[in-house]
Amino acid sequence: MADMQMAKIVGTPALEGTYIAEMDMWPLECQEFNRNYQFYDNLREGRFTSTKCKKCGHIAFPPGVICPKCWSEELEWVDLPQRAKVVTFTETQAGAPLGFPPPLIMAWLSFGKDSPLKHLLVRIINCAEGELKEGDEVKLAVFEVPSHPIEIKRETKVCDRVYYAFERVK
């Protein structure tokens, strides 16, 4: 029954199923469609991860299936820091794109000099208009994304989905 209910949700969540699934902006996260599915499985466990090259040690973000430095395909998953500081940000109070309720806050984060991931441009959620300040500490926030049915080898499957943003440490 749970699958039946989820199957009714198609397309962009904010449009309440009015539009077709082609307008969906979130990645397909299941193993059949995404070679980086491990990243999303790790998010479900509360882990923020990326791929590290076993040959040259380079840690890329976002994760990939080949090292951008030496082209090796021998990669392993490593954990990244889940806390960062806000360097600067923008706050869209009206006219945000479909599927993003205002305020749409995009922040440039700094993870510190010891982190393999130095900076990240990312969405800040669970934050009211005017609440975020430069220098604020933020942490990883994983949220569920509505799924829709997709066809895999003549079978219809509903892949549960999650995505990540950051939120203020209060």
- Per CB under 5 A, residues contacting Zn ion are 53, 55-56, 58, 67, 69-70, 72
Closest CB 54 distance from Zn ion, rounded Å:
8
CB-based burial of residue 62 (10 Å sphere; 0-12 exposed, 13-18 middle, 19+ buried)?
Answer: exposed
In the complex with Zn ion, the residue whose CB is nearer, 47 or 58, is 58
CB of 64 to Zn ion, least distance (A): 11
Cβ closer to Zn ion: 44 or 55?
55
Asked, as a colleague might, if the bond just before 62 is cis with ω within 30 of 0, I would say yes
Q: What is the DSSP track for 137-160?
A: EEEEEEEEE---EEEETTEEEE--
Quick one: 57 or 112, whose CB is closer to Zn ion? 57
With respect to Zn ion, which residue has the nearer C-beta, 36 or 110? 36
Nearest Cα neighbor of 77 from 100, 48, 115 is 48
131: CB partners within 8 A, 6+ apart? 168
Rounded to 5 degrees, φ, ψ at 7 are: -65, -20
Nearest approach, Cβ of 36 to Zn ion (angstroms)? 17
* Least distance in angstroms from the C-beta of 164 to Zn ion: 24
- In angstroms, what is the minimal distance from the CB of 58 to Zn ion? 5
* CA dist., res. 143 & res. 164, Å (int): 6
Q: Judge whether 136 and 170 are in contact, CB under 8 Å.
A: no
Residue (56 or 152) nearer to Zn ion, CB: 56
